Amino acid sequence: MLFGALGVLGFSGTLPATRAAIGELGPVVMGLGRALVSASLAVLVLWATGARRPRREQLLPLAVASAGVVIGFPLFAAIALRTVPAVHASIVVGLIPIVTAVAAVVRHGERPRPLFWAASALGVLAVVVFAAAEGAGRPQLADLWLLLAMISAGIGYAEGGMLARDMGGWRVICWALLLAAPVLALPVGLDLAHRSLHVSARAWSGFAYVSVVSMFLAFFAWYKSLALGGIAAGGQMLLFQPLLSALWAALLLGESIAPRAWVAALLVLGSVALSRWSQMHPRSP
């Protein structure tokens, strides 16, 4: 449970940190550039530990995990955060645990209880209503980007969690970063060539956080919790990530949390908790 809690605590600062820097550094640097910094750290860790290379059959799942958590989620979330507050994004992506569970169901061919699907539908409905209320009657374009971010994260978590049982959590994120780095170098380099790096300390602090904590250290703790068989405990801690993220956004960025945001966050928390409970108490054969 400790590793799961540390991972979630690290993840909870991701959206506020991205929002703090996105106006000055842009979505390419904030979404993809962070992985290049993290990949540099991963090289040092792999070299220092003499870690063996992934086996051939692990490369495809590793590439899927990399596409989800190293490329997809950071980039899509960064694009969304150009136009919506971190509080809004935190509540919408609060459904990531459900998306992760659905990805695992598809991957393993499991048949969850009807309660799982009912709880998932409740969470989706809560997010759709909240997004529509925030967007003057209909979801915004940013909500589509957040949806893509959720799907990316869910698939990446599911694949990474499976690999962590065999490879170890820290090796999963290190190799996922190294796989993505060559693909990301060109777009990040081109973006930097046309962007001024004379930005505020706040922007660099946000970039440093997502590069070192969100993309690296938090994954060490999170995948470690999965490798130790603590998926249930880690999942329970993940319930509080939307609330933690919203609180960080309010404290650090001065964003307001409207009453409807609290209601939506609690409904999402409840739906995810119910779906988790249904997974931990599967129906009898």
The whole-angstrom separation of Cα 53 and Cα 154 is 25
Do the domain assignments include residue 229? yes
**What pLDDT tens digit does each residue of the chain (285 aa) get?**
677 788 889 999 999 999 999 999 999 999 999 999 999 999 999 999 988 899 999 999 999 999 999 999 999 999 999 999 999 999 888 888 778 878 877 776 666 778 878 887 888 888 888 888 876 556 789 999 999 999 999 899 888 888 888 888 789 999 999 999 999 999 999 999 988 888 999 999 999 999 999 999 998 888 777 666 544 445 556 777 888 899 999 999 999 988 888 888 888 888 877 877 776 666 555
User: Rounded to an integer, what is the distance from CA 285 to the centroid of its chain?
Assistant: 34
Listed in sequence order, the residues at least 6 apart from 234 whose beta carbon sits closer than 8 Å to its beta carbon are 1, 3, 4, 7, 8, 222, 225, 226
Name the amino acid, one letter, at 92.
V
Q: Establish if 139 belongs to a structural domain.
A: yes
Residues 6 or more apart whose Cβ sits within 8 Å of residue 204:
21
Q: Which of 101, 137, 105 is nearest to 119 (CA)?
A: 101
Q: How many CB atoms lie within 10 A of CB 152?
A: 23
Q: Would 285 be classed as within a structural domain?
A: no
58: containing domain:
2-280
Look at the chain and report how many structural domains it folds into.
1
44 in any annotated domain: yes
Residue 108 within any structural domain of the chain: yes
- Residue 16 counted as domain residue: yes
* Measured CA distances, 87 to 5, 12, 142, 216, 242 (Å): 20, 11, 13, 23, 8
* 244 inside domain: yes
DSSP 213: I
Which of 213, 270, 235, 237 is closest to 15 using CA atoms?
Answer: 213
Residue 115 covered by a domain: yes
Would you say how long the chain is, in residues? Answer: 285
